Structure 1
Amino acid sequence: MMEIKARGPYSFEETLRYMKRQDDCLYTVKNDAVYKAESFGGHKVLMKLTAGAEDSVQIEVLFNEGASSEDIRDYCIEWLDLGYDLESFYEFACGDQRLGRMVEKRHGYRMVGKVDITDAFLWAILGQQITMSFAYVLKRRVVEYCGHHLEYEGERFLLMPPAAEIAAIHSDVLREMQISRRKTEYIQDVMKGVDAGELSKARLETFEDYGEVLKYMTSYRGIGPWSANTVLMRTLKFRNAVPVGDAGIKNAIRLVDGMDAAPSRAYIDQVTDQWGEFGMYATLYMWETL
C-alpha cells in the first residue's frame, strides 16, 4: 500500500466523478475505487486507487508480476497529474470571470491523463467528429480484439495493446468495427509512426516549444490541431495546449458569456489566448461548465 500526496489541492472524489462519466475500457470504477491494469516492461500490474488523506490518493497493488514500486508510483503521479502546482492555476483562475466559479465548485480537480501515447493517439483519432459515447465503443472493440488483459478473482481487466499490433489489424476488420475508412487509414499510419519512433512519446518529449511540436505532429495525416492538442494535453502535459476547434470549448464560452449564438473562431481565440501557460487547465475547467 502506498499513499501519494499531490502538489497542492487534490480531490479523489473529483477524479471519481470524472471517471464515472467516462466509459473507458482501460479502467473500472466500483464502490468508490478505481481499478487499473497496466504493463510495466512486460510486467502486468493491477492497481486499486482510493481516497487517501487530505490531497492524497492511496494505491493498493492487487497483482504484480515484478514491476517496481517506484515505477507504479511514478505512473500514478503522471496519470493523475499529481506533480502539477495546481495552486498556481487557481491564482490565475480566480482573476478570470469565466474560471473563478468553477475553481470553487471543482476544487482539487486534476487532469486524468493518458500515460500511454498509443492510447492517446487512438482516442484522438476515434474521437474526431463523433459522439464521445460511440468513440468509447470503438475503442473497446479495438482493445478487446487485440486481447491483452489481466485476470484477477474472476474479473478481466483490459490492457492497451502496443502500437504495432493495432497497426497490423487488417483494414476490413477495423471497418467491421464501424470505424470509417478514413479513420482506419489514419489509425494505421499513426500507429506505424508511433512504433517507428517518429510519433513515440520519447520523440515528442524532445520538443520544448509548443509551436514546433504542434507543427511536427500535424504534418502527419490524420493528426489535425484538435487531435494534436488532445495528445499534448493529456499525455505530453504541454500546459498551454488548447484543443483548437473543440465543440466543448465553443459551447462552454457561449454558455458562460450568455451568447445567443455560437462564438466565432476569432472570439474563441481571443478568449483562449488569454489563458497562456494555463490553457490546459483552463480548458479542463471550462468543460466542467457544461
Structure 2
Amino acid sequence: MQKENNNELKIFVPKEFNFNENLKYLSRAPNECLFHIKNQRLYKALPIEEETLLIEISADHENVMTIRFIGDTTPSCERIRDAVVRYVRDWFDLDRDLLPFYEMAKTDVLLNGAVGSFYGLRLMGIPDLFEAICWGIIGQQINLTFAYTLKRRLVESFGRRIEYDGDDFWIFPTPNDIAALAVEDLAGLRMTVKKCEYLIDVAQLIVEGKLTKMQLLNAGNVKNAEKMLIKIRGIGPWTANYVLMRCLRYLSAFPIDDVGLHNALKHLMGTENKPTKEEIGRLAANWTGWESYATFYLWRFLY
C-alpha cells in the first residue's frame, strides 16, 4: 500500500488481476443496492468501527488500484485507513496467487476457455459473515433476480444509508439490527416465514458470540467448517459452501448443488439435460483445491 494523501490510498495489485473483469461481475445485477458503479468507478459506503466512510475505487493505471474517500468521510486515523485497505483486499481477493489455478485450468477442458476469456477475474467476496449468510439464505430456491429484490427490501427496511450528491448509499443491517426482531417485523419483505426465522436465528447466534468468522476459520478444513454451519437451522450444504467460498475463502468449498453451476456446465457441454451430481464429481476431478474458483469462473458464462 502507498499513501498518497489524506483522501486517497494506492493499492498495488497482482499482475493476474483485471479491474474491468471484476466490475463486469459486480454489474450483473441492476437491482444491487450496496454499491454503485459509474464511469468504471465503484462506490460503496463502508462502516469501520464507529466511522462510516464513502469510498470510490478505480484502476486507471496498471497494477494499481486507487481508493478515494468521498465528501467529509476521511478516516480519522491510520488504523481505520488500514482496515479499509484490508476490506478492499479481501473483497477483491487480492492476496491470492492465481497462477496455480491458471496452470491447472489450462489443462481442463471446461476451464480453459473460461480463464482465457475472463483472465484477471477474482472471486469477489462478501467479507462480512452475517451479510454472506443472509445472502445465502435469501437466495435459497429462488431465481437471482428475486433474490436481489428481497435483499434490497431487507437492506432498505433495516439497514442504514448515507446520502451523497443525490445518491443513497446503503449499509447492510448488522446482527444487532435483526436479532431483536420478530418474524412479524419482517412481513413487509414478503419472504417466506421460514427464511425470516432463519435470518433472526443467525443474527442471534452472532450477537451471542456463538457464531463467528474466526471460529469457522479455525475449523481446520472446509469439511469441519461446513459441519459447523449446517448445524444451524436453515443452512444446508449449498448455503454452507456458498458462505465458505464467498466469505471464509476456503478454496475447496464447492456448492455442487448450485443451479447456476449446473446451467453453466450444461451450456459448455452443449447438452439438453443438466449434469447429475455424480457427473459433476467426475468433471471436477482436476479441480481439487480450486473448486471455489472453478465454480466462480463457470458462473461467469451466465452473465
Give TM-score, length-normalised by structure 1.
Answer: 0.95
1:288 is paired with a residue whose SS is helix
Q: CA deviation at 1:273?
A: 4.1
CA distance in 2, matches of 1:146, 1:102: 38
The one-letter code sitting in structure 1 at the alignment partner of 2:170 is L
Q: 1:221 to 1:273 in 2, by over 3 A?
A: farther
Which stretches in structure 2 are left out of the alignment for 5+ residues? 1-7
CA distance in 2, matches of 1:7, 1:277: 20
CA distance in 1, matches of 2:156, 2:267: 38
CA distance in 2, matches of 1:248, 1:151: 35
Which stretches in structure 1 are left out of the alignment for 5+ residues? none
Retained in 2: the 8 A contact 1:11–1:56?
Answer: no
- Summarize the alignment of residues 15-94 of structure 1 with structure 2, pairs less than 5 Å apart: 15-22=22-29, 23-62=31-70, 63-64=73-74, 66=76, 68-94=80-106
1:122 match: 134
Q: 1:147 to 1:161 in 2, by over 3 A?
A: closer
Q: CA deviation at 1:233?
A: 0.7
Retained in 2: the 8 A contact 1:29–1:35?
Answer: yes
2:294 match: 282
Q: CA deviation at 1:141?
A: 1.2
CA distance in 1, matches of 2:62, 2:287: 29
CA distance in 2, matches of 1:248, 1:147: 28
Retained in 2: the 8 A contact 1:3–1:57?
Answer: yes
2:264 match: 252
- Summarize the alignment of residues 1-290 of structure 1 with structure 2, pairs less than 5 Å apart: 1-22=8-29, 23-62=31-70, 63-64=73-74, 66=76, 68-290=80-302
Aligned residues: 290
CA distance in 2, matches of 1:244, 1:61: 39
2:5 match: none
Q: CA deviation at 1:242?
A: 1.1
Q: CA deviation at 1:65?
A: 5.0
Give TM-score, length-normalised by structure 2.
Answer: 0.91
Q: Encode CA deviations 1:126-183: one digit per residue, 9 max, x unaligned.
A: 0001111111111111111124122223432111221121122331231221110111
2:34 is paired with a residue whose SS is coil
CA distance in 1, matches of 2:275, 2:164: 49
CA distance in 2, matches of 1:193, 1:273: 36
% same residue: 34
